[in-house]
Chains A and B, each alone.
Chain A
Amino acid sequence: MSRVGVVVFPGSNCEHDVVGALTTLGGRAELVWHAETDLAAYDAVVLPGGFAHGDYLRPGAIARFSPVMGAVAALAEAGRPVLGICNGFQVLTEAGLLPGALQKNRGLTFLCQPTTLVVASTRSVLTRAAALGQELVVPINHFSGSYVCDDATYLALVERDQVVLRYRDNPNGSRGDIAGIANEAGNVVGLMPHPERALSALLGSADGRVLLEGFLAAADDAAGARALVAAP
């Protein structure tokens, strides 16, 4: 079974929820402190939600300098699955692993509410198990979740099928209703909604399962590929 590392920055707060969700789905997930510089033992990594380094300056601006980020970049470069949820998405954009930026919500208030997402691409480690056009109810929980980028970047995202999730009813003013994007290879994904909060009807929705199950399957594939390489 694959090993997923869930990075804990000082100020992260969704790390236990993500480990719990991945474990519930049969995965093997462990907390990794942000001072760690070697992630070679992990087949995939998640940057969870929260307020890394207090969101001082702006969300993700300091976290991108955390010691672990070099190893995250190396993992991404090696094609292994990297997922940034909410604050994790903000960190990935600040670190240049995903294009664009997240700015304050239209309306200038924090928003914690369910949203309906539409799967816009299945060509990513997060959406590979979902169906194109599938609607998923997943909550958002952010102040700075409005995705922005320049025209050229937006056109490139669309052209290369990197927009993976869109809001059906845009809650925050995101450009093109973007809720989540991937890098060109599809192994690095960032999204503002919290799939780990949509794991059971008891908590309001189980629609996050198909996303995290796809991510775990991608992690397993990465583990399998490494085993092949490691085999003599």
Chain B
Amino acid sequence: MTEEALHRALGLTDDEYALVEGVLDREPNHLELAMFAVMWSEHCSYKSSRLHLRRLPTSAPQVLVGPGENAGVIDAGDGVAIALRIESHNHPSAIEPYQGAATGVGGILRDVFTMGARPLAVMDPLFFGPPDDARARWLVEGVVAGISGYGNSVGVPTIGGELTFDEGYAQNPLVNVLCVGALPRERLVLGRASGVGNLAVLLGSRTGRDGIGGVSVLASAGFAGADGATSLDEEKRPSVQVGDPYEEKRLIEACLALLDEGLVVGIQDLGGAGLTCAASETAARGGVGMDVDVTAVPLREAGLAPWEVMTSESQERMLAIVRPEDLAAVESLCRRWEVRSAVVGRVTAPVPDAAGRPVGMLRVRQGFDGPVLAEAPAAALADDAPLYDRPRARPDDLDARLSDDPADEPAGDVGAEVLASLVDPAWVHRQYDSQLFLNTVVGPGRDAALLRLAGPGLPASERGFALTTDSNPRWCALDPRAGTALTLVEAVANLACVGATPAAVVNCLNFGNPEHPEVMWQLSEAVDGLAEACVATGLPVIGGNVSLYNESGGRDIDPTPVLGVLGLVARLVAAPPGWAWREGDTVVLVGPREARPDPFPLAGSLFARRRGRTGGRLGDLDPRALAASRFVAGEVARVCAGGASPVAAVHDVSAGGLAVALAEMAAASGVGLAWARPRGHAELFTEAPGRFVVATRDPAALTAAAAAAGVEASVLGTAGGGRLTLGELCDLAVGDLAERRASALPAALGL
């Protein structure tokens, strides 16, 4: 194969090949080409999205580290910092669900403990096709088992994440993973090399042939799909890495101990693009060079070529930058944790380029002082991938879709619609250890998870933190800009239900093929929508991940920006109210009863989707919804702090609308509700976010407090009896609601 053909096989375009030649001022050799190919892949370089991501607001007083490092970090008070990161492992999970999902967990944990933080919790937003065929069930069961098998064993609780079933994900499931960790503020470390003469020490697993080309072959191209070409996708399976949670567990403990004892000056995980990425990024960030001895890398099998060693994505490896005088102590600590360590490189001084500017060179050598096999500026690999402003096009049929509003859909059988919308994800969540570290106050399956901010090695604190992941592909398919903005409003409302004030956002932008102009338009719009909502809420984006090429058989997924939002609770000594109301409670809708401009928009709702209606206009980003969230968060926070509030139960209105929120609360409490006068089925099924069902024993106090905060509160009825009655539209037995909710998922999976 000629070099020309080789670069294409590695995933580089002809233009990119020419750029590499320009950087090196010569023809690259095979090894150099392989290194550029992985570093300049879409997955590693964000070359199609970076231009747009710059429009996101990233600063706020609480931000200690923003986007660009391994994880974002905020100051949580009391000397504790919180690190947050979200990633996708969509493509590997579609090919090999167990290992794909498992290594997704492993990778995100390394991103977080790289910052010096102990990983405290993981969340997994999952999107599958309808689980009604054998392959879909294999994917669901494999992904959940992979998260469970890896996460439980590695010793980090998994505290939830959404579970979405939709036809659009049948061939291209989405497996996102978010991790939060905490650290004493002063221990914050960054992934950079410094100190000429310092050593680069590779920690953890030996390097094998697994995952070679994962970022370029697998994650930066679509799938052939189920059109008879699935066998082509099967051939990609060797590009999926294999995880070992036991290795990772020891690696976490060893690295945190190394950081505790001040034995490393910088540390970086090896993920996508392997050693090439870790070496070039640490060197580029530190403005230094690095020599890597490719023969010093411990191998799983003999005979790996240098390009394989440099691009392997073998899991459970870290690169630590160590002062020579600390090496013995590092090795001894690693031995205790049975973690392999090997000196594979050393930090070198930058050398002047033709213009006399200092350039840190990444050199791959055969032996420390042996021949140079590859040589390139570290920053060229890590930072200088081409930036693409790919063509964007507003879809031709957009206007037609926007004008096709489902407001004219008849109500149909409202009771059947409610029952069909009830799904308890407990079958998934039961498989996750959600309690380790004794922090979990509200676990998976509720509006948001709520945890104490405590853990081994952290200063004592009564603070708490809350986490939610949210997405709404139905909204975003319709209007990616408004849909993404409303998704953030929904996330903030979820946090409010557990008393948390939002503090930071991370995003995982799952989109289709960026070479399709409509997909690039969706991405650009979604970024603008997120930016608008961040400005409206005063929230910074502290990190993110972009997953493109989510397509199969030429069909792109619906735009699926997933937002992970971290909230803080100042004092957490009592559990917040749950969903269960009691006989005699007054049930109140807190927040705007009517949205704007339409009072009860059905566009983008589950109700409309079930009827094949995918058009219409979403509601506006409503400041009244944000005010309602602030009010509810304040009231619930008082309960968490051990004080009193008229809020006795609370749940926000989301997928399925008010009808489903009420049904879920009735099912959770075993007590019914009679709501005499809903204003038609659209009020029951509209999903405008930032509205809350609150149950109270003191309606006068609740409405007075809401009025004082300028928030609307509308009494719906009184809890009691054994039936959920919504005017003339719906009358269901509470027992049926509970039974249907519990059995829906196992029944769908055929269990």
Residues of A within 8 A of B (CB): 10-11, 13-14, 16-17, 20-21, 33, 50-51, 53-56, 109-113, 139, 141, 143, 194, 196-197, 199, 201-203
Contacts and interface: CB of A to CB of B under 8 A. Distances in A.
Interface residues of B, number: 35
Contacts of A51: 152-153, 155, 245-246, 249
B438 interface: yes
B430 A14 contact: no
Given A139-B435, A143-B152, 18 more contacts: A10-B250, A11-B249, A21-B438, A33-B336, A51-B246, A54-B244, A54-B247, A109-B430, A109-B431, A110-B431, A110-B433, A112-B434, A112-B435, A141-B435, A197-B438, A199-B438, A203-B438, A203-B440
B301 to A, nearest CB: 20
A10 B154 CA distance: 11
Contacts of B155: 13, 50-51
Contact of A11 (B246, B336, B433): B246
Contacts of B337: 10
Contacts of B148: 109-110
Interface in B418-448: 429-438, 440-441
A202 B456 CA distance: 19
B246 A54 contact: yes
B373 interface: no
A88 to B, nearest CB: 15
Nearest to A52: B246
Nearest to A49: B436
Contacts of A16: 437, 455-456
Nearest 7 Cβ contacts at the A-B interface: A54-B246, A13-B155, A16-B456, A51-B153, A110-B431, A110-B148, A112-B433
B438 A13 contact: no
B574 interface: yes
A203 B155 CA distance: 18
A104 to B, nearest CB: 13
B399 interface: no
B338 interface: yes
A152 B437 CA distance: 39
B304 interface: no
B573 interface: yes
Contacts of B429: 112
Contacts of B452: 202
B189 interface: no
A23 to B, nearest CB: 12
Q: Which of A54, A55, A56 has the most CB of B within 10 A?
A: A54
B257 interface: no
A196 B247 CA distance: 26
B152 A110 contact: yes
B575 interface: yes
Interface in B571-609: 572-575
Contacts of A201: 575
A112 B338 CA distance: 29
Give the interface centre of A21, A139, A143 by most chain B CB atoms within 10 Å. A143
A139 to B, nearest CB: 6
7 contacts: A10-B246, A13-B154, A16-B456, A17-B437, A111-B431, A112-B152, A202-B572
Nearest to B426: A113
Contacts of A112: 152, 429-435
A184 to B, nearest CB: 33
A11 B250 contact: yes
